[in-house]
Amino acid sequence: MRLVDRYDAIVCDLDGVVYRGDPAVPYAVDSLSAAGIPIQYATNNASRPPADVGAHLRRLGLSVQDSAVATSSQAAAWLLTQHVAVGAAVLAVGGSGVAEALRERGYVPVTTAADDPVAVVQGYGADVTADDLAQAAYAVQRGALWLATNTDHTLPTAQGYAPGNGALVLAVGAAVGRGPDLVAGKPDEPLYLMCAERLGVAPVRVLAIGDRLETDIEGAHEAGMDSLLVLTGVHGVHDAVAAAPESRPTWVARDLRGLLTDVDDLEPASAALRAEWDARDNAPAGVDVSRPLPEELAALTQ
């Protein structure tokens, strides 16, 4: 049985899993095209509207509709419906994707605290200004619910790491003396739970795929989903071995070909990971448990 045959649907991260910047990650397009089950492509990037992401995926060769893209802005608007009546004024901070997601859910995006918003949705945008952050702080101080799309502190760019939305959230937090009331993106569960709702599949029957342990994999844990760590992005085998319990993947594979691989071929590596975690968790205090990687895991680093 292939790994993909164990599940009814997939929630797949994008950057580092499907593409790196503009080009596709090797084997990603062919593997996802052959999966044969519904897929939601979930990203913490709040600035790009789903249509832009969908167009990117189609350029790479994937046959996807824009509705298969799930952003943290959409998750924020979805989460907002559980706390704020539809039709309310909401201060939108971030790129165009934030305001668009709010309109889709029936909210009225506004740009200043003087518009009396009942909530603030703060996401990343390359053109966010100091005044935008100030307006968010003013609204929160006046009692508005504060919802962050995501709290990634950094944003990878061609030039290096830039401040991400988490850094901008910290700036507002410094003014108001606390953090946001709610967070929609990974590693919090709303983005994943929104995807499961869209798919019409219980979270336990969904496989979450990602390359980052502290966002993709931890988010899967929070949502009650199994997870696949692919070693095509941020984290590798050594990171997985050292991972805290809440950031440990169910499966590990070199790349997305693992989806189409027989479970028995993937199981030795996953079992080796579980043995390493068990040794670390049960080691007496002060005992150094570091040692060479088991053969099954070392093979994935080659």
| Edge-to-edge strand ranges of the sheet holding 251-253 | 69-71, 39-43, 9-12, 206-210, 226-230, 251-253
- Is-contact 35 10, C-beta < 8 A? yes
The active-site residue, picked from 5, 8, 15, 188, is: 15
pLDDT at 264 over 70: yes
Residue given tokens 């952050």 in the structure block? 133
pLDDT per position as a tens digit, 59-82:
999 999 999 999 999 999 999 999
Q: Which of 32-41, 121-130, 222-231, 287-296 has the lowest mean pLDDT?
A: 287-296
Q: In the CATH scheme, what is the code of domain 3-44+187-301? A: 3.40.50.1000
What CATH number does the domain located at 74-183 have?
3.40.50.1000
156: pLDDT strictly greater than 70? no
**Of 160 and 40, the one with more pLDDT:** 40
| Catalytic site residue from 8, 13, 22, 181 | 13
- Categorise residue 269: left if φ over 0, alpha if ψ from -120 to 50, beta otherwise: alpha
Active site residue 216: no
Interval 34-50: pLDDT, tens: 999 999 999 998 888 89
**Tokens encoding 230:** 């692919």
Q: State how far the Cα of 136 lies from the Cα of 113, in Å rounded to an integer.
A: 7
- Name the residue ranges covered by the structural domains of the chain: 3-44+187-301, 74-183
pTM above the 0.85 mark?
yes
Decide which of 280 and 156 is more confident: 280
pLDDT band at 157 (very low <50, low <70, confident <90, very high): low
Closest CA to 101 of 126, 81, 115: 81
**Number of Cβ within a 10 Å radius of residue 236:** 16
User: How many angstroms separate the CA atoms of 99 and 120, rounded?
Assistant: 11
Instruction: Give pLDDT, residue 109.
Output: 98
